[in-house]
């Protein structure tokens, strides 16, 4: 790691950048664009976000608030829990614990910095965490292993049984930094009784752990507030998803990022609800005019990203798709399987239902909801088993009438790289052209974005999609 | 006593003849596919330079990939020990040795007495080896020495896929096609290399003085970037060609252990 | 393989699998040490752990697995695809790690291109990553599910007594292996690591009663050896990823060391301690296989594993520990790093190697490391 | 009508001219330095041998790594489309094309019109590309073109296990040091390459018949290895497999001028073998 990097605290660094970025939008457009001249690289992310208008501004504030919470947690007498994107932070907020979500912070670094998060990625390998491990954690984990982040009080992950390298990153950290550790572990099936009760039991274990580590007892009213807010958020999401299935898709492409980033940051918090409301207004306005959400206003192609997006180097992926008139009808990160979701028609049992009647019903709700988080739901079993990755992706492709499927992940993603080839073959048999991207969503050194984009365009052209 | 060290590497073979801790003569040739003939070739060359005959050598120690097929040695020792010993002689006071050879990259930590305390070698993809630079230089159509002059001093070294040597070529070619200046690409290659190596070095908890041996230590670009990444100075051998470290170490061991060899 | 003595056990075991088959016996292959083999044995089905050895090309493995996957499951799939497992009456896939659990899909999908490589009995056996009460409960329901499907498919019935008998039978072998390890102690030192490992590999193939007898005879021979046979050799312990052939160990020993202990994804780790014989068999197996496992997939168990590693090092008077992991094995790879950190701090020399599975790739580099490691210790 | 295909790869540049009745002329030169220059060089060369000049070309299609630098091209096409078309043209029964070039390997499936149905590039690793063989040939001190004939002297199987090119190289070197005969090592290398290419093709589902294209297809050893691991004999179109990219480009160029150039009469298999083997 470069010595100069050792001078900075990662959380504070990202926080101050985002906070400042948030302020830039307060002046006039003229002022804003004049200011952009002074941040030649950072404009690559700031400009597109701000161009999304109110929702973009709210998103910046959301991120700023999230990072602020981390930086100020200990001063405010709150504990910090290191966790993973596919773990719903709602329970932490309900217990007044602040989440430090590695993948979210890795993403921010990968998006914002010219040198990405290379120093942190590599530091993990320096201390012996295998370089074949997933870059989504390494991108920020390196900072915490090097003592360049806020001091973590506890570690919770929910990827055991779903993704080894993810879960292993947290187990490694707990052993390396000697921090208390709890894992939610998922069996290779979804809706059987034994598994439903496993979800529940495991979640009670989590709550016991959180109570012990934070010294806060779980509070019924607080949990109810959070779940009621979640209910609202799910309803808005359902509305948006209904409209996403229209042709053309009225949703601005960057909203995909806003939806899941916001959910990973602030599930069950009202600031996220406000952003969703703004977004719903825009989408329905577009829908009313039968207008595509793309900047060009013209939709040439509908793509389903069956796994994750590409985060390295600003917002290049979304810019590129937008330029080419390709809309994104979602990816594995942006669907949460509330039983009322439009895509669960016919398989409602796969979803969760929010029940705020009493503490037991609410904890049960949390457990079943968390069991349906991105990746947790569909990567846990063989991809061709009921409710798993293939069935899910195919269902989404149909409901949102996608023309093609694109896989993007990281070389560290053992669980999908172990099955993506047959998965793609089966998709093609269903008549859906399927493309496998070989880059790394968080590390441009694996394949430069230009090379990735060139291959992507080649696929769309050669397969006659564009 | 006159001793010799013979280091048969995968790409180059080196021979050194020493008398009482001073180099009398040395030779470097590129290895043939037959280690035995490489060894004979290089030693004859060294002996010739020293103006003596093979029989004048009291003890000869062999090292390197081909060490077990050198006919005329009394004893052999691993690259690690030889490079450690050789580096300590080349840079007295060296506690951490970075040796980048053609096929691998070693980091050796020595104790005060010059014994190997801990070592790491590059198991991963080969982008941290001398071969990486050779392949890249060829793609750029420049000499290895020229490549070495492309240091991070240039304005914008290009970031490279440091994951696969040969794959990185695709990127190099793409940058060439996009008309990027050679210097920037070259600097990028050197930084990719340095970055790879720094991961290995930092992982070994280096202690000063840090020194670097092996052919790549002649590459200013790599050394400078590496110093920047490690935040500490890297000492380069002056007493002899840094490529000879292994052979020198072998010759020194030969002297230390005398006839009959080590163990 | 070099000496007949060490090739013996594995060859012998492979032969007895074929004999079992020829005498109309059923064989079910499995992929990981978390399977309670006693269940199969109770059904009079021979459990044979699948090995990936002897594979020289990965054209079938690479067709279905992606590039960033451990070479071990690829080699198993390669053997399956080329019909080398056609004698199996069933396969049990255990999601020991992400690479291994995808053998499920890849094997079945390969069956679409290569006829007859997927046996009718193809079972995905789920194993939790921790040993809490509820995960033990789930695991025992999974064992029950396995029992039922075996009964159904093979038309057998597996009663509590059958399970008890099987447990007793396997425990006998476990006891003997424990005694076998005494010959590896510095004070006795009459058994090479290569032999010991060959014997434990044989244990994952042979019918247990036959194995117990064979092991007994073998030990009689060993006990007749002159003590101190391997004195003066550097005493290694080998730790980490799967290794189901002798090459790695025999190389370490060919350099003048003796591998006095190992804890690998394959071999003795499977045996572990005895299974309680006086309690309800399923729950006894659950505790043994889930609670007492030393596999890094049991997340959060680092301290316990470090402890047992230290004990082994002391008991066997180990001079140095060789940590190895197959590329893409993150579970062992990264835990090896912390082991190394903590053991070196206690003054125990360690070396860490990353390698490819199978016919030892570029032996040169491996040898160089091990030689240097020995030089460091002497 | 004269249509041209200019395929600027990472190691070589190819130029080909086509008229209504078939191939007029073709050239292959090594790429050194800037691709733009190589493109111009090879086109001038091929025009010269055909006694034509740039302005005689009705439509020129550029393809290959350097395609974006070919400023005199009328249109640009992907290597996939060009190699697919070029290989299929030689024999319309071809449905799967395995192409191994200097920088990458691809498997392409085409329909009865020669249009691409599915394709895949090699994994993010260079083993299994032309560069792999090149580096190995150097390590073994055998000329690249001599590899295939060397292999024929092989007596026993050697397995090359390392996935990484550079480590495969050090593996090869230690094999040599152990005294393993070079022909056996070469056979092992060819086998390893064939295995990777087979896996590539299978992953998109193979449809008969299959042909082997690209620079490495000139290596009879890899060809034999492929037929072995695929368990079927490959189509030898007789044309120089290295030229398929440029040929496909020229064919597409011709189609853009509304001309469908008739395929050559099928060459005799053994004649093809000689070609492919050489």
Q: What is the mean pLDDT of residues C71-78?
A: 94
Contact at CB, A414 and C330, closer than 8 angstroms: yes
Looking at the structure, tell me whether residues B100 and B215 fall in a common domain. yes
**Which tens digit of pLDDT belongs to each residue from D27-86?**
999 987 678 889 999 999 999 999 999 999 999 999 988 888 888 999 999 999 999 999
pLDDT band at D276 (very low <50, low <70, confident <90, very high): very low
Looking at the structure, tell me whether residues B185 and B248 fall in a common domain. no
Size of the A and B interface in Cβ pairs below 8 Å: 40
Give dist(CA D144, CA D164) in Å, integer.
20
**Which tens digit of pLDDT belongs to each residue from A75-127?**
999 999 999 999 999 999 999 999 999 999 999 999 988 888 989 998 998 89
Looking at the structure, tell me whether residues D211 and D247 fall in a common domain. no
Looking at the structure, tell me whether residues D177 and D243 fall in a common domain. no
In a domain? residue C149: yes
Beta bridge mates, A56: none
Tell me which chains share at least 3 CB pairs under 8 Å with chain D: A, B, C
Q: Which domain holds residue D162?
A: 94-234
- Chain A CB contacts of B199 below 8 Å: 122, 125-126, 131
pLDDT band at B90 (very low <50, low <70, confident <90, very high): very high
Token pair of C75 as six digits: 């080699």
Q: What is the mean pLDDT of residues B244-249?
A: 96
Burial of B59 (0-12, 13-18, 19+ CB in 10 A): buried
- CB count, 10 Å around CB of D71? 9
Looking at the structure, tell me whether residues D177 and D204 fall in a common domain. yes
**Which tens digit of pLDDT belongs to each residue from B131-179?**
788 878 887 888 888 888 887 666 577 776 555 555 566 677 777 777 7
- Chain C CB contacts of B126 below 8 Å: none
Handedness of CA A379, A382, A385, A389 (dihedral sign): positive
Q: Which of A132, A160, A174 sits opposite C68 (nearest CB)?
A: A132
| CATH number assigned to the domain comprising residue C77 | 3.40.50.11890
- Chain A CB contacts of B224 below 8 Å: none
Q: Which domain holds residue B23?
A: 1-91+239-263
In a domain? residue A391: yes
Contact at CB, D204 and A425, closer than 8 angstroms: yes
Selected residue of B165, B200, B203 to mutate for chain A interface (largest A Cβ count, 10 A): B203
CA of C105: which chain A residue's CA is closest? A382
Q: What is the mean pLDDT of residues C128-138?
A: 96
* Distance in Å from the first CA to the final CA of chain B: 20
User: A451, A437, A441: which is closest to A138 by C-alpha?
Assistant: A441
| CATH number assigned to the domain comprising residue B180 | 3.30.420.40
Angstroms from B199 CA to nearest CA on chain A: 5
Contact at CB, A181 and C299, closer than 8 angstroms: yes
Are the C-beta atoms of residues B161 and B125 closer than 8 Å to each other?
A: no
- Chain B CB contacts of C376 below 8 Å: 80, 115-119
CA of C67: which chain D residue's CA is closest? D123
Looking at the structure, tell me whether residues B107 and B29 fall in a common domain. no
Looking at the structure, tell me whether residues D100 and D226 fall in a common domain. yes
Token pair of A305 as six digits: 């990203």
In a domain? residue C89: yes
Looking at the structure, tell me whether residues B79 and B28 fall in a common domain. yes
Contact at CB, C368 and B80, closer than 8 angstroms: yes
Q: Which of D32, D65, D135 sits opposite B141 (nearest CB)?
A: D32
Looking at the structure, tell me whether residues B34 and B100 fall in a common domain. no
Q: Which of B78, B104, B117 sits opposite C371 (nearest CB)?
A: B78
Looking at the structure, tell me whether residues D220 and D126 fall in a common domain. yes
Looking at the structure, tell me whether residues D55 and D118 fall in a common domain. no
- Chain B CB contacts of D123 below 8 Å: none
CA D278 from centre of chain: 13
Looking at the structure, tell me whether residues D119 and D180 fall in a common domain. yes
Looking at the structure, tell me whether residues B210 and B261 fall in a common domain. no
Looking at the structure, tell me whether residues D199 and D274 fall in a common domain. no
Selected residue of B31, B64, B99, B119 to mutate for chain C interface (largest C Cβ count, 10 A): B119
pLDDT of residue D130: 84
Are the C-beta atoms of residues D163 and D124 closer than 8 Å to each other?
A: no
In a domain? residue C205: no
pTM, to two decimals:
0.91
Looking at the structure, tell me whether residues B87 and B178 fall in a common domain. no
Looking at the structure, tell me whether residues B24 and B66 fall in a common domain. yes
Q: Quick check: C358 pLDDT over 80?
A: no
- The rounded percent of chain A whose pLDDT value lies above 70 is 100
Number of domains in chain C: 1
Q: Is A49 helix (H, G, I), strand (E, B) or coil?
A: helix
In a domain? residue A207: no
In a domain? residue A204: no
Looking at the structure, tell me whether residues D85 and D104 fall in a common domain. no
Interchain CB contact of D203 with A (< 8 Å): yes
Contact at CB, C365 and B121, closer than 8 angstroms: yes
Q: Which domain holds residue C110?
A: 4-157
In a domain? residue C258: no
In a domain? residue A202: no
Number of domains in chain B: 2
Interchain CB contact of B104 with C (< 8 Å): yes
Contact at CB, C361 and D167, closer than 8 angstroms: yes
- Chain C CB contacts of D162 below 8 Å: 356, 361-362
pLDDT tens for chain A, residues 1 to 466: 888 899 999 999 999 999 988 888 888 888 888 888 888 888 888 999 999 999 999 999 999 999 999 999 999 999 999 999 999 999 999 999 999 999 999 999 999 888 889 899 989 988 999 989 999 999 999 999 999 999 999 999 999 999 999 999 999 999 999 999 999 999 999 999 999 999 999 999 999 999 999 999 999 999 999 999 999 999 999 999 999 999 999 999 999 999 999 999 999 999 999 999 999 999 999 999 999 999 988 999 999 999 999 998 889 999 999 999 999 999 999 999 999 999 999 899 999 999 999 999 999 999 999 999 999 999 999 999 999 999 999 999 999 999 999 999 999 999 999 999 999 999 999 999 999 998 899 998 888 888 889 889 999 999 999 9
Looking at the structure, tell me whether residues A449 and A343 fall in a common domain. yes
- Chain B CB contacts of D32 below 8 Å: 141
Looking at the structure, tell me whether residues D111 and D216 fall in a common domain. yes
Alpha-carbon distances of C272 from C138, C146, C200, C264, D118, rounded to whole Å: 22, 22, 12, 12, 50
Looking at the structure, tell me whether residues A169 and A232 fall in a common domain. no
Looking at the structure, tell me whether residues D130 and D189 fall in a common domain. yes
Tell me which chains share at least 3 CB pairs under 8 Å with chain A: B, C, D
- Chain C CB contacts of B80 below 8 Å: 368, 371-372, 375-376
Residues 105-124, chain B, touching A (beta carbon < 8 A): 124
Looking at the structure, tell me whether residues B218 and B109 fall in a common domain. yes
Interchain CB contact of B174 with A (< 8 Å): yes
In a domain? residue C103: yes
| CATH number assigned to the domain comprising residue D131 | 3.30.420.40
Q: Which domain holds residue A75?
A: 3-184
What DSSP element (H or E) covers A241? Answer: helix A220-244
Residues sharing a CB contact under 8 Å with residue D142, sequence separation 6 or more, in sequence order = D150, D182, D186
Beta bridge mates, D96: D109, D210
Interchain CB contact of D170 with C (< 8 Å): yes
Angstroms from B86 CA to nearest CA on chain A: 26
Residues 407-446, chain A, touching B (beta carbon < 8 A): 411, 444-446
Looking at the structure, tell me whether residues A335 and A415 fall in a common domain. yes
Number of domains in chain A: 2
Looking at the structure, tell me whether residues A118 and A256 fall in a common domain. no
Looking at the structure, tell me whether residues B50 and B104 fall in a common domain. no
Q: Which long-range contacts (CB under 8 A, 24 or more apart) does D176-181 make?
A: D176/B33, D176/B34, D176/D139, D176/D140, D177/B35, D177/B65, D177/B66, D177/B68, D177/B69, D177/C364, D179/B69, D181/D153, D181/D154, D181/D155
Contact at CB, A425 and D123, closer than 8 angstroms: no
């Amino acid at each position: 790691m470069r010595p100069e990097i050792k001078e900075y605290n990662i959380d504070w660094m990202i926080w101050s950048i985002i906070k400042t970025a948030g302020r830039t939008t307060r002046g006039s457009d003229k002022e804003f664009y004049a200011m952009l001249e002074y941040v030649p690289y950072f404009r690559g992310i700031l400009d597109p976000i701000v161009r999304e208008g109110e929702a973009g501004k709210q998103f910046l504030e959301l991120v700023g608030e999230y990072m602020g919470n981390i930086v100020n947690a200990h001063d405010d007498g709150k504990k910090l829990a290191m966790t993973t994107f596919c773990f719903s932070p709602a329970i932490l907020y309900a217990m007044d614990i602040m989440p430090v979500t590695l993948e979210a912070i890795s993403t921010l670094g990968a998006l914002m910095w010219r040198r990405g998060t290379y120093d942190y990625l590599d530091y993990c390998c320096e201390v012996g965490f295998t370089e074949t491990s997933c870059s989504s954690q390494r991108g920020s984990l390196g900072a915490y292993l090097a003592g360049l982040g806020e001091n973590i009080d506890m570690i919770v992950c929910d990827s055991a049984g779903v993704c080894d390298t993810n879960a292993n990153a947290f187990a490694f950290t707990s052993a390396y930094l000697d921090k208390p550790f709890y894992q939610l572990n998922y069996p290779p099936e979804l809706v059987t009784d034994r598994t439903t009760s496993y979800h529940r039991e495991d979640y009670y274990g989590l709550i016991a752990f959180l109570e012990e580590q934070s010294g806060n007892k779980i509070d019924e009213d607080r949990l109810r507030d959070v779940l009621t807010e979640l209910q609202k958020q799910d309803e808005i999401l359902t509305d948006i998803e209904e409209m996403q299935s229209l042709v053309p898709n009225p949703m601005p492409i960057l909203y995909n990022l806003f939806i899941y980033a916001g959910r990973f940051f602030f599930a069950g918090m009202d600031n996220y609800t406000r952003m969703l409301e703004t977004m719903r207004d825009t989408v329905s306005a577009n829908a009313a005019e039968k207008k595509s959400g793309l900047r060009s206003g013209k939709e040439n192609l509908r793509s389903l990203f069956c796994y994750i997006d590409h985060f390295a180097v600003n917002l290049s992926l979304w810019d590129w798709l937008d330029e080419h008139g390709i809309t994104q009808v979602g990816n594995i990160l942006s669907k949460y399987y509330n039983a009322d979701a439009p895509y669960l028609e016919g398989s409602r049992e796969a979803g969760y239902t929010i029940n705020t009647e009493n503490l037991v019903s609410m904890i049960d709700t949390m457990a079943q909801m968390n069991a349906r988080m991105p990746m947790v739901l569909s990567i846990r079993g063989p991809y061709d088993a009921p409710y798993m990755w293939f069935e899910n992706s195919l269902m989404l492709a149909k409901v949102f009438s996608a023309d093609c499927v694109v896989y993007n992940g990281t070389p560290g993603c053992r669980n999908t790289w172990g099955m993506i080839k047959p998965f793609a073959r089966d998709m093609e048999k269903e008549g859906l052209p399927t493309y496998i991207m070989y880059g790394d969503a968080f590390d441009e050194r694996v394949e430069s974005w230009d090379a990735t984009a060139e291959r992507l365009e080649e696929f769309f052209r050669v397969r006659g999609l564009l | 006593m006159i001793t010799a060290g013979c280091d048969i590497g995968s790409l180059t073979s080196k021979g050194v003849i020493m008398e009482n801790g001073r180099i009398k003569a040395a030779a470097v040739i590129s290895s043939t596919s037959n280690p035995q003939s490489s060894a004979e070739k290089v030693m004859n060359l060294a002996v010739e330079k020293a103006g003596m005959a093979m029989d004048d050598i009291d003890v000869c120690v062999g090292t390197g990939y081909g060490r077990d097929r050198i006919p005329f040695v009394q004893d052999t020792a691993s690259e690690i020990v030889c490079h450690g010993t050789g580096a300590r002689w080349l840079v007295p006071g060296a506690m951490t040795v970075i040796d980048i050879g053609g096929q691998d990259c070693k980091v050796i930590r020595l104790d005060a007495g010059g014994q190997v305390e801990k070592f790491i070698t590059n198991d991963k993809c080969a982008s941290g080896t001398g071969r990486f630079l050779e392949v890249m230089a060829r793609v750029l159509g420049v000499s290895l020495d020229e490549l070495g002059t492309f240091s991070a001093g240039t304005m914008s070294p290009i970031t490279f896929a440091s994951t696969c040597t040969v794959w990185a070529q695709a990127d190099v070619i793409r940058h060439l096609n996009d008309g990027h200046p050679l210097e920037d690409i070259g600097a990028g290659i050197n930084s990719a290399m340095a970055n790879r190596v720094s991961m290995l070095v930092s992982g070994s908890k280096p202690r000063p003085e840090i020194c670097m041996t092996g052919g790549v230590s002649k590459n200013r670009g790599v050394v400078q970037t590496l110093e920047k990444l490690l935040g500490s100075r890297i000492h380069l051998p002056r007493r002899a060609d840094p490529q000879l470290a292994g052979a020198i170490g072998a010759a020194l061991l030969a002297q230390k252990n005398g006839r009959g060899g080590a163990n | 393989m070099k000496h007949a003595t060490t090739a013996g056990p594995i060859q012998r075991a492979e032969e007895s699998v074929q004999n079992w088959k020829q005498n109309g016996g059923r064989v079910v292959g499995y992929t990981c040490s978390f399977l309670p083999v006693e269940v199969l044995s109770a059904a009079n089905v021979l459990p044979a752990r699948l090995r990936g050895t002897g594979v020289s090309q990965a054209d079938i493995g690479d067709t279905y697995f992606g590039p960033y996957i451990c070479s071990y499951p690829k080699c198993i799939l390669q053997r399956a695809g080329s019909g080398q497992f056609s004698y199996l009456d069933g396969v049990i896939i255990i999601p020991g790690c992400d690479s291994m659990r995808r053998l499920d899909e890849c094997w079945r999908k390969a069956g679409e291109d290569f006829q007859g490589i997927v046996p009718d009995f193809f079972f995905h056996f789920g194993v939790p990553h921790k040993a809490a009460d509820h995960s033990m409960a789930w695991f025992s329901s999974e064992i029950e599910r396995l029992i039922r499907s075996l009964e159904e498919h093979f038309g057998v019935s597996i009663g509590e007594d059958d399970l008890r008998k099987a447990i007793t039978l396997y425990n006998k072998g476990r006891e003997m292996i424990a005694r076998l390890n005494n010959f590896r102690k510095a004070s006795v030192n009459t058994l090479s690591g290569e032999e010991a490992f060959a014997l434990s590999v044989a244990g994952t193939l042979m019918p247990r009663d036959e194995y117990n007898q064979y092991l007994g005879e073998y030990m009689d021979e060993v006990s007749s050896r002159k003590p101190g046979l391997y004195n003066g050799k550097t005493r290694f312990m080998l730790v980490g990823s799967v290794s189901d052939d002798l090459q790695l160990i025999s190389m370490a020993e060919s350099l003048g060391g003796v591998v006095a202990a190992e804890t690998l994804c394959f071999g003795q780790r499977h045996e572990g301690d005895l299974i309680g014989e006086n309690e309800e068999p399923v729950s006894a197996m659950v505790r043994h296989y889930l609670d007492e496992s030393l596999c890094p997939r049991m997340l959060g168990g680092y301290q316990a594993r470090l402890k047992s590693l230290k004990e082994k090092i002391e008991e066997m008077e180990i001079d140095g520990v060789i940590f190895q992991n197959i590329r893409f094995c993150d579970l062992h790879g990264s835990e090896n790093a912390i082991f190394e950190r903590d053991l070196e701090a206690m003054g125990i020399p360690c070396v860490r190697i990353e390698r490819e599975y199978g016919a030892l790739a570029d032996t040169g580099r491996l040898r160089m490391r091990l030689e240097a490691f020995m030089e460091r210790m002497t | 009508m004269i249509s041209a295909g200019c395929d600027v790869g990472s190691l070589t540049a190819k130029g080909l001219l086509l008229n209504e009745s078939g191939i007029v002329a073709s050239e292959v030169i090594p790429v050194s330095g800037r691709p733009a220059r190589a493109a111009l060089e090879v086109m001038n060369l091929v025009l010269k041998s055909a006694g034509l000049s740039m302005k005689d070309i009705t439509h020129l299609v550029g393809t290959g790594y350097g395609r974006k630098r070919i400023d005199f091209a009328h249109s640009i096409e992907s290597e996939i489309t060009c190699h697919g078309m070029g290989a299929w043209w030689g024999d319309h029964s071809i449905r799967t094309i395995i192409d191994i070039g200097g920088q990458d390997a691809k498997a392409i499936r085409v329909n009865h019109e020669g249009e691409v149905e599915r394709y895949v590039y090699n994994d993010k690793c260079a083993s299994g590309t032309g560069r792999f063989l090149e580096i190995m040939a150097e390590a073994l001190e055998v000329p690249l073109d001599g590899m295939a004939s060397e292999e024929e002297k092989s007596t026993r199987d050697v397995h090359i296990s390392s996935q990484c090119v550079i480590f495969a190289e050090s593996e090869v070197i230690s094999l040599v040091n152990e005294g393993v005969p070079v022909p056996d090592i070469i056979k092992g290398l060819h086998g390893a390459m064939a295995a990777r290419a087979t896996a590539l093709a299978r992953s998109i589902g193979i449809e008969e018949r299959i042909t082997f294209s690209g620079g490495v297809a000139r290596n009879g050893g890899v060809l034999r290895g492929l037929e072995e691991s695929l368990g079927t004999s490959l189509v030898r179109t007789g044309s120089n497999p290295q030229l398929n990219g440029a040929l496909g480009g020229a064919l597409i160029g011709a189609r853009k001028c509304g001309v469908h150039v008739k395929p050559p009469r099928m060459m005799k298999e053994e004649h093809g073998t000689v070609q492919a083997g050489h």
